Amino acid sequence: MLEDEQRLSIDKYFDSIKEYNDQKLIETDISTSVIESIIKSAGTAPSGANQQPWTYVIIEDKGKKQRILNTVKHPNTCSKNYSYLIALFKQNYGLVEKDGSEAKIKHYYPQESTSLSAGFLLAAFQYVGIKIELLPVEQSLRKELNRSSNEVPFLLIGIDNKSIHDDVLQLAENYFNVINRRRSTRKYSSQKFNKELLQKAIQCTNTILGYYVNEISCELMIVDSEEKKQQIRTRAEANEKRLYEELITDEWRRALKPLKTDWRKQHLTDAPYLLVVFFKKGAHSELVDSKTLAGIATGIMIQTVHRIGLSTLTYTPSPMQFLNEILTKPISNIPFMVLPIGFCASDYEPPHITRKSLQQYLVKI
Ligand SMILES: Cc1cc2nc3c(=O)[nH]c(=O)nc-3n(C[C@H](O)[C@H](O)[C@H](O)COP(=O)(O)O)c2cc1C
């Protein structure tokens, strides 16, 4: 994509985000296929070791919806006539059948991964023009929806039969066709692009977030200094070397094997920009804590840069506190993730991995 095209594309996207709030809602028959298509898009989010540790539940059953809403402490919720509720669960660990009994599989970064998927979900609803409401999540949701012990209630959403567009299924499919092409990129071309594009992408992200929370308790910080990028790479690689050579468990090594990664993190200096995401310690709104919000913001940001032809990688150095030092951030700001952002190198081959099918992570009630 040329820079002029990128600029036009992000401006158009920003206008559509503002429209989402301003335009009049029309009664639209929102079929389950639309909701499924949107959840299919959410399922394309990056995840630690490609484990996709999430379950989505679409609740259409009247009695079930009412029982759930009765437990939700939120003004006016009980009287709301949502056509659907969507519950998102984080799978803290995986469960597989082994020798006739259930065995646990360790999940890597389930909270971060699930919040990215939630970000993709909210961005897809915005794109399609369907208004949604975030509702407080009660732990009783697991029992009410018969979910198993590895699944933790993460997000609850109410949906009306209202939209700002009438062709919602087509829009949902269009959104999926674009986002489904996103891949994590570990090799970047040296081609530069204007920082304003990233600033605008952050504006898009914060505007979408602002529809759901009053206070944005996370920050997306652009790093363009070559010196700082090099410092981040040096510190990250020192930790990675120790991880790959000393600390890594066999199980973890097996989980990472298909990705063909090692301790070298060349992308941290090759990409023209790094985006470092921080969240505020202890801050949380009525609906989501600040770490989850940081993940949702990162998810929205990833899909925004993807739509203007840029690539990224959700990289989680471990430990991450050195980022506060290099970027002179007070320790009340906790680093969440580092995303190199740039054009994908023409010779980059993403690893051959597959995503779960919708049926593997969707339940309908
Ligand atoms: C929380 C989190 C941490 C990740 N950490 C790394 C990482 O350290 N190195 C890496 O190469 N990829 C990392 N990834 C990217 C995943 O490996 C990638 O999303 C997954 O394999 C699926 O591939 P895709 O993003 O191309 O669909 C991470 C993803 C998430 C969500």
> Measured from the CA of 116, which atom of ligand 1 is nearest?
31
3-state secondary structure of 352: coil
CATH of the domain at 176: 3.40.109.10
Q: Do 126 and 206 fall within a single domain? A: no
Rounded Cα distance, 344 and 306, in Å: 11
- Ligand 1 pocket test: pick from 111, 253, 259, 261 the residue with the most ligand atoms within 8 Å of its Cβ: 259
Tell how far the Cα of 298 is from the centroid of ligand 1, in angstroms: 13
Residues contacting ligand 1 via CB (< 6 Å): 46-48, 50, 109, 112-113, 116, 183-184, 186, 259, 261, 313-316, 350, 353
Assess contact for 299 and 208: CB atoms under 8 A.
no
Cβ neighbours for 248, distance < 8 A, ≥ 6 positions apart = 256
Q: What is the pLDDT of residue 284?
A: 74
Q: What is the pLDDT of residues 268-293, one digit of tens each?
A: 999 999 999 999 988 777 789 999 99
Q: Do 92 and 156 fall within a single domain? A: yes
Q: What is the pLDDT of residue 163?
A: 92
Instruction: Give percent of the chain above pLDDT 90.
Output: 84
Q: What is the pLDDT of residue 19?
A: 85
Q: Do 226 and 332 fall within a single domain? A: yes
CA dist 112 to 107, 167, 219, 258, Å? Answer: 11, 32, 15, 20
pLDDT at 79 over 70: no
Average pLDDT of the chain? 94
User: DSSP character for 187?
Assistant: -
Cα–Cα nearest to 88, from 59, 130, 127: 59
Q: Do 288 and 320 fall within a single domain? A: yes
Cα–Cα nearest to 125, from 6, 14, 207, 17: 17
| Domain-located, residue 348 | no
Rounded Cα distance, 113 and 53, in Å: 7
Rounded Cα distance, 292 and 284, in Å: 9
Average confidence (pLDDT) over 214-219? 92
Assess contact for 349 and 184: CB atoms under 8 A.
no
Q: Do 164 and 275 fall within a single domain? A: no
* Helices assigned H by DSSP within the chain: 3-22, 32-42, 62-71, 110-128, 141-144, 168-179, 195-210, 226-242, 250-256, 267-270, 290-307, 322-326, 358-361
pLDDT at 200 over 80: yes
- Find residue 134's DSSP bridge partners: 157
Q: Do 224 and 298 fall within a single domain? A: yes
Rounded Cα distance, 126 and 120, in Å: 10
Q: Do 233 and 106 fall within a single domain? A: no
Rounded Cα distance, 99 and 272, in Å: 50
Cα–Cα nearest to 356, from 122, 53, 86, 38: 53
Tell how far the Cα of 46 is from the centroid of ligand 1, in angstroms: 6
- Helix/strand number for the chain, H first, E second: 13, 12
Q: Do 176 and 203 fall within a single domain? A: no
Q: What is the pLDDT of residue 287?
A: 86
Q: In the numeric block, which tokens belong to residue 120? A: 């993709």
Q: Whose alpha carbon is nearest atom 9 of ligand 1?
A: 315
ipTM of the prediction greater than 0.85, yes or no? yes
Tell how far the Cα of 187 is from the centroid of ligand 1, in angstroms: 13
Cα–Cα nearest to 17, from 250, 212, 226, 294: 212
CA dist 328 to 295, 321, 325, 343, Å? Answer: 22, 11, 5, 28
Strand order in the sheet with 273-280: 218-223, 273-280, 333-342, 311-312
Assess contact for 38 and 128: CB atoms under 8 A.
yes
Q: Do 208 and 319 fall within a single domain? A: yes
| Domain-located, residue 149 | yes
Q: What is the pLDDT of residues 60-74, one digit of tens each?
A: 999 999 999 998 877
| Domain-located, residue 203 | yes
| Domain-located, residue 2 | no
3-state secondary structure of 282: coil
- Ligand 1 pocket test: pick from 263, 315, 349 the residue with the most ligand atoms within 8 Å of its Cβ: 315
C-alpha 87: how far from chain center: 15
What is the phi/psi pair of residue 30, to 5°? -90, 105
Tell how far the Cα of 315 is from the centroid of ligand 1, in angstroms: 7
| Domain-located, residue 10 | no
- Domain total of the chain: 2
Q: In the numeric block, which tokens belong to residue 240? A: 């990675």
| Domain-located, residue 165 | yes
Lowest mean pLDDT among 106-115, 159-168, 311-320, 334-343: 159-168
Q: What is the pLDDT of residues 2-58, one digit of tens each?
A: 889 999 999 999 999 988 877 888 998 899 999 999 999 999 999 999 999 999 999
Q: Do 169 and 205 fall within a single domain? A: no
| Domain-located, residue 264 | yes
Q: What is the pLDDT of residue 77?
A: 65
Tell how far the Cα of 142 is from the centroid of ligand 1, in angstroms: 27
Q: Do 165 and 313 fall within a single domain? A: no
CA dist 111 to 41, 107, 142, 154, 351, Å? Answer: 18, 10, 16, 9, 23
| Domain-located, residue 319 | yes
Rounded Cα distance, 83 and 63, in Å: 12
- Ligand 1 pocket test: pick from 52, 232, 306, 314 the residue with the most ligand atoms within 8 Å of its Cβ: 314
Q: Do 33 and 152 fall within a single domain? A: yes
Domain extent for 84: 23-181+354-364
Report for 100-104, 158-162, 237-241: range of highest mean pLDDT: 237-241
pLDDT at 76 over 70: no
Residue 78's pLDDT band (boundaries 50, 70, 90)? low
